[in-house]
Amino acid sequence: MKKVTSAVKVLVVDDQPLIVEELCEFLESSGYRCVPCESSSQAIARFSEDLSIGLVLCDFHMPRMDGIELVQELQRLSGKHRAFEAIMLTGRADKQDVIKALRAGFADYYQKPINLDELLDGMRRQEEALQEQQKSLQLGHLNQKLQYLSESIDDLYQDLDKVRRTPQAADASDSEVSDRDRLEIPAIFNQLSPRQLDVARLVGKGQTNYQIACELGITENTVKLYVSQVLRLTHMHNRTQLALALSPSSSGLRQRVTAH
C-alpha cells in the first residue's frame, strides 16, 4: 500500500540535533515532509521561505529565543493571510509554562520523552484544524473580492443610470466645449465611454485614485477598474504614459499615440 504524503510541511525546531533528527525520521516515515531547524533564528528563516509549512513542532526551552517567542514571531510574520498550528515539546512540565504557551497560541503540548504514537495522533488532529483555518481564510478572501466586485458593479449601474437620465439635447456652449475637448486629445481616446474619459482626464491632471473617486462620486475600486479599462483600450502601459498623452505640453507624444 502506497504511503500518503501530507501536503503540509512540519517545521521541527529543537536546539538538540539528535532530537530533531529522530523526530524528522519518524514523521517522514509517517507521511510528513519535515523542515529541520536547530535554532529559532533558523526556523524563522525557513518559515518565511516556505509557504507550505503549516505545522510547527518546537521545543519550549531554547537559547536566545524560547518556543513562545518563536511562535509569536511566526504569528507576526503570518499576519491575517497565513495559518499554522504549533505544538510545544517540553522536558520540564511546568504548569505555568504550559498555560503561558497555550495562551500564546500553541494548540497542544507533549512532555519529553515523547510518546511518538500520541504525537502522531496529535499532529493529525492539528492538520485537520489547520485545513479548517485555511478554508476560512480562503472564504474570507473570496468574500472580500465579491464585496469589491459588488461595489464596482453597483457604481457602474449608477453611472449608467445617470447617463440615461441626462437630456440628449445639451446647451450649445456645452456641446462646443465637449467637441473642443475631443479635438484636444488623441483620436484613440474617442473610443472611450464618457465615464472612462472623465477618469482619463483626471489621471491626466495628476489626481490620485482617491481624489478621482471623491470628484466622481464612485469608489476607489471602481476608479481602478476604469483606469485598467482605459489603459487596455488605448494600449498604454501605465498611468504615467496616460497622463503624458493627455498633457497639453506633450504634443509629440499625442501624435505618436494618435498614429498608433
| pLDDT tens digit sequence for 69-101 | 999 999 999 988 889 999 999 887 678 888 889
Q: Residue type at 61?
A: H
What residues does CATH 3.40.50.2300 cover in the chain? 9-140
CATH 1.10.10.10 fits 179-258, yes or no: yes
Q: Return the number of other C-beta atoms located less than 10 Å from residue 171's C-beta.
A: 9
Sign of CA dihedral 40, 45, 51, 53: negative
Q: 255 by DSSP, 3-state: which?
A: helix
Give the residue among 47, 2, 10, 1 at the shortest CA–CA distance from 124: 10
The dihedral built from the CA positions of residue 60, 65, 68 and 72, taken in this order, carries a sign that is negative
With a CB cutoff of 8 Å and minimum separation 6, the contacts of 182 are 190
The Cα 19–Cα 12 span in angstroms is 9
Angle formed by the axes of helices 209-216 and 194-204, to 10°? 130
In tens, the pLDDT along 214-255 reads: 888 888 888 888 888 888 888 888 888 888 887 655 544 444
- Domain 9-140 classification at class level: alpha beta
> Exposed (0-12), middle (13-18) or buried (19+): which is 26, by Cβ within 10 Å?
middle
Amino acid at 199: V
**The whole model's pTM is what?**
0.54
* Per-residue pLDDT tens digits of the chain, which is 260 residues long: 445 678 899 999 999 999 999 999 999 999 999 999 999 999 999 999 999 999 999 999 999 899 999 999 999 999 888 899 999 998 876 788 888 898 998 999 999 899 999 999 999 999 999 988 888 777 766 777 777 777 677 667 666 666 666 655 444 444 444 444 444 566 777 788 888 888 888 888 888 888 988 888 888 888 888 888 888 888 888 888 888 887 655 544 444 444 44
182: number of CA atoms within 13 Å, CB side? 11
- Where does the chain hold its CATH 1.10.10.10 domain(s)? 179-258
Grid coordinates representing 158 are: 449608477
